[in-house]
Structure 1
């Protein structure tokens, strides 16, 4: 592995010399961030689809690397391809969204839990998921990257290809919109219904 070369050096080596280890190193560097970005767009119920997106992204990168003009950073280019590919897949799988009905509740209830509390928690979680789905795609991704996947503002800025202050703005607006949407569904700040 060539961990000392920059992304640009690896791209040049692969394009000019067909140096397969150079491309392999690029995939190694970006496979996990691309997957995380894809799952942030698709949501927690679509890990398998996020893996397929990551594979497709690297197939596309491989096919178009010769046309990469290096006007942007390689990472920004890869993340933009990943974001767009994930959005395309999300549009196709939107109607297959995993869900849990209240009929499945008896299978989830722990023997020592209060069934009323469990129903309320499921209802609140379902309302939250519905509200998140109403947010603009970039807000959904920022929220999932930050709160679900634990990325910092700096990391999210890199993945989304925007300045850090823009990520802060996305998170702030997303939280504000989410709060308003939850209130419309009858949920208050403290999580009560």
Structure 2
């Protein structure tokens, strides 16, 4: 069943919509949650919570892309669970990937004008579209799917140092782009 049909079922409050979402996206949802959370129970909780959030938010929301909408809910839930579980602990691969991006993404304190997450996300999307495909895919796998550098290297049959170099270069270009666009100070 396609996304439009699932959204239609959600608008009709038909519980079959949840089953169709599970059939279409459950593996992807667990993949995203699993790259952030190590405990199977936490992963299940986040995926199920995302299904409930979709059920609760559609209607009134009508997402253009149900897959992206659902994945974003899973990722946000997993991030919140990760923060709750590890409070002051900062030693996981996922935390490392966030630390890598910290120099590129404004923290809110250094911004004189208020920008929304949506505006920043849009700017990052524009930037990524301007990058070579391989760099873009490596970046997305690292910072959206939270894969380790080693996993990305294995997936693309690349050297780990090459992947790390790709990520370094893209972060450096992203920082320059965001500075040029006025999202972060020079």
Counterpart of 1:14 in structure 2 is: 10
Which 4+ residue blocks in structure 1 deviate beyond 6 angstroms?
Answer: 149-153
Mapped partners of 1:151, 1:59: distance in 2: 35
Q: Tell me how far 1:150 sits from its aligned partner.
A: 9.5
- From 19, 29, 41, the counterpart of 1:48: 41
Q: Tell me how far 1:28 sits from its aligned partner.
A: 2.1
Structure showing the higher helix proportion among its residues: 1
Alignment RMSD, CA only?
A: 4.0
Mapped partners of 2:26, 2:153: distance in 1: 17
Q: Can you give the 5+ residue segments of structure 1 that lack an aligned partner in the other structure?
A: 100-125, 154-168, 178-193
- From 52, 57, 61, the counterpart of 1:59: 52
Q: In the comparison of the two structures, how many residue pairs are matched?
A: 127
Q: Contact 1:34/1:79 (CA < 8 Å) preserved in 2?
A: yes
Q: Residues 1-193 of structure 1 correspond to what in structure 2 (within 5 A)?
A: 5-16=1-12, 18-42=13-37, 45-70=38-63, 72-95=64-87, 131=96, 134-136=99-101, 139=142, 141-142=144-145, 144=147, 147-148=150-151, 172-173=166-167
**TM-score w.r.t. length of structure 1:** 0.50
Question: Once the two structures are superposed, what CA deviation does each residue of 1:146-178 show, in whole Å capped at 9, x if it has no partner?
Answer: 85499968xxxxxxxxxxxxxxx999216999x
Q: Can you give the 5+ residue segments of structure 2 that lack an aligned partner in the other structure?
A: 103-139, 157-162, 172-186
**TM-score w.r.t. length of structure 2:** 0.52
